[in-house]
Every structure is written in structure tokens, then in C-alpha cells.
Amino acid sequence: MTKPKRMWLTIFWDEHRTSMSNYDIMEMEIEEMSDNYKYEGQLELLSYYPVEIIRQWLWDVYAREPYEVIVDSIEW
């Protein structure tokens, strides 16, 4: 299965978009996300991880729930 090498995200922490972060997920973190959440989807067809999995991973890493996550770019 082809997995992304890097993903760039914009994270909004509140509904008013006053708290924002830019984050890039590296290959090692992508592997960890796949292992932790048992995602085995066809990444080459979807071209990204489902945002709910990314959102859950961010919540677990930061102990803070993101309001919205946008996948800006993906490097294969």
C-alpha cells in the first residue's frame, strides 16, 4: 500500500477560527496513525487519510480537540 511521505495541515482549534496552527505530519507519524487507528484504506485511491482519523490523532497527541482540520497538501 502506498502511504504519503508527508502531509501539511491547517488546524482550527475553535469555531471562530481565532486559534489556528499549521502542522506537517511526517512519514513516521503517518505510520503511527495507521497502526494506532487500524486504517488500511486505499490511500492511493483516496489521496488522503480520512479527516476524522487525522482529527482523532491530533486530539490524542495534543489532548485538545480540533474544531476543523484541513489537509492542505500531500507529498507521496
Separation CA 1–CA 20 (nearest Å): 32
Report, as an integer, the average pLDDT of 50-69.
89
Averaged pLDDT of the chain: 83
Report whether pLDDT(60) > 70: yes
Q: What is the pTM of this model?
A: 0.77
Render the burial of 42-64: b for 16+ CB within 10 Å, e for the rest: ebeeeeebeeebbbbbbeeeeee
Categorize the per-residue pLDDT at 44 as very low, low, confident or very high, splitting at 50, 70 and 90: very low
Length of the chain: 76
Please give the pLDDT value at position 53.
Answer: 85
Separation CA 27–CA 75 (nearest Å): 10
For the chain, give every domain's residue range: 6-75
